[in-house]
Amino acid sequence: MEYVYAALMLHNSKQEVNEANLKKVLSASGVAVDEIKLKQLVSALTGVNIDEAIKQAAVVAAAPVAAAAVDKKEEKKDEAAAEEQASAGLAALFG
């Protein structure tokens, strides 16, 4: 995960995400650099628009939150309907 964080830090500071820069960031933070992981990350990020990937990730992350909000509204409606039914049943006993 620290490799991805380092890449995001470089991108955010408008630095090129390459092996040398990643190695500097990781080494400065005390991470023992694995050359294979470093090469794999740089290769995987080649041609990737990081800003667009972040936007898409934010949309994907927001979707479950929006769905949960809809579910809570439906639960409240169900609870209100159940209370009405219970009240109607009690009224029939005394009515």
Pick the CATH number of 1-48 from 3.40.50.2000, 3.40.50.720, 1.10.10.1410, 3.30.70.260: 1.10.10.1410
pLDDT over 80 (residue 74): no
Stated pTM of the model? 0.60
In the chain, domain spans: 1-48, 52-95
User: Binning pLDDT at 50, 70 and 90, where does residue 61 land?
Assistant: confident
pLDDT in tens, 11-45: 999 999 999 999 999 999 999 999 999 999 999 99
> Which pLDDT value is given to residue 86?
64
String of DSSP letters for the chain: -HHHHHHHHHHHTT----HHHHHHHHHHTT----HHHHHHHHHHHTT--HHHHHHHHHHHHHHHHHHHHHHHHHHHHHHHHHHHHHHHHHHHHH-
**Which residue type sits at 37?**
K
Q: What is the mean pLDDT of residues 77-81?
A: 70
Q: Are residues 41 and 18 in contact, defined by beta-carbon separation less than 8 angstroms?
A: no
CB count in 10 Å sphere of residue 7: 23
pLDDT at 15: 94
